[in-house]
């Protein structure tokens, strides 16, 4: 007859803590991560202080699509994360004239943009030719609050390798809980 080995309470506690930390690291690294919205660049879709969950595994199954809200590493400082809306995908031709975004020659219907501006795309170090074509494995992203958004108009493209995933659920504040569109 086998005898059961009883572990001391401190060892049980230590093993539980190690397993919990290990699972948390795996989940945060590969599955889902929470992000805090620090600015008003995505108003009214996301407000300052909102907290969202990002599906980091989503990029294993699909590529970012036009109109979706994604979190990515800020191209000018990869230690920071930004959240913006994907406006154009690889191969798309983009132009912005008097605040209207054109993708592949057609004006984009943007009901989520409540604060419009009159920005017109000009040649720059990121876009030597306007209209421009989004290079392969890159994305063009803009904030919903156009007059107050540091976005792709000013820092260029977002590489696919820097995209964490889509913001799929707002869990805070409780009165705004839901799916950001």
Contact in structure between 48 and 158 (CB atoms under 8 Å): no
Structure tokens at 152: 């792709």
- Is residue 87 within 8 Å of residue 140, measured between CB atoms? yes
Distance CA(79)–CA(164), nearest Å, equals 13
Pick left, alpha or beta for residue 31 (phi over 0 → left; psi -120 to 50 → alpha; otherwise beta).
alpha
Determine contact, residues 129/123, Cβ cutoff 8 Å.
yes
- Catalytic residue positions? 41, 84
E strand or H helix at 158: strand 158-159
Largest CA distance in the chain: 83
């Amino acid at each position: 007859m086998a005898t059961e080995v009883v572990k001391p309470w401190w060892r049980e506690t230590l093993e539980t803590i190690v397993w919990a930390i290990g699972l948390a690291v795996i989940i945060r690294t590969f599955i889902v991560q929470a992000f805090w919205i620090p600015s008003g660049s995505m108003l009214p879709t996301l407000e300052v202080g909102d907290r969202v969950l990002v599906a980091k595994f989503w990029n294993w199954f699909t590529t970012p699509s036009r109109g979706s809200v994604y979190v990515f590493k800020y191209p000018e400082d990869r230690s920071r994360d930004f959240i913006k809306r994907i406006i154009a995908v690889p191969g798309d031709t983009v132009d912005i004239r008097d605040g209207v975004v054109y993708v592949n020659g057609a004006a984009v219907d943007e009901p989520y943009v409540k604060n419009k501006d009159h920005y017109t795309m000009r040649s720059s170090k990121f876009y030597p030719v306007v209209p421009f074509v989004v290079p392969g494995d890159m994305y063009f992203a803009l904030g919903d609050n156009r007059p107050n958004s540091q976005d792709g108009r000013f820092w260029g493209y977002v590489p696919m390798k820097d995209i964490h995933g889509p913001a799929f659920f707002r869990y805070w504040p409780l009165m705004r809980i839901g799916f950001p569109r």
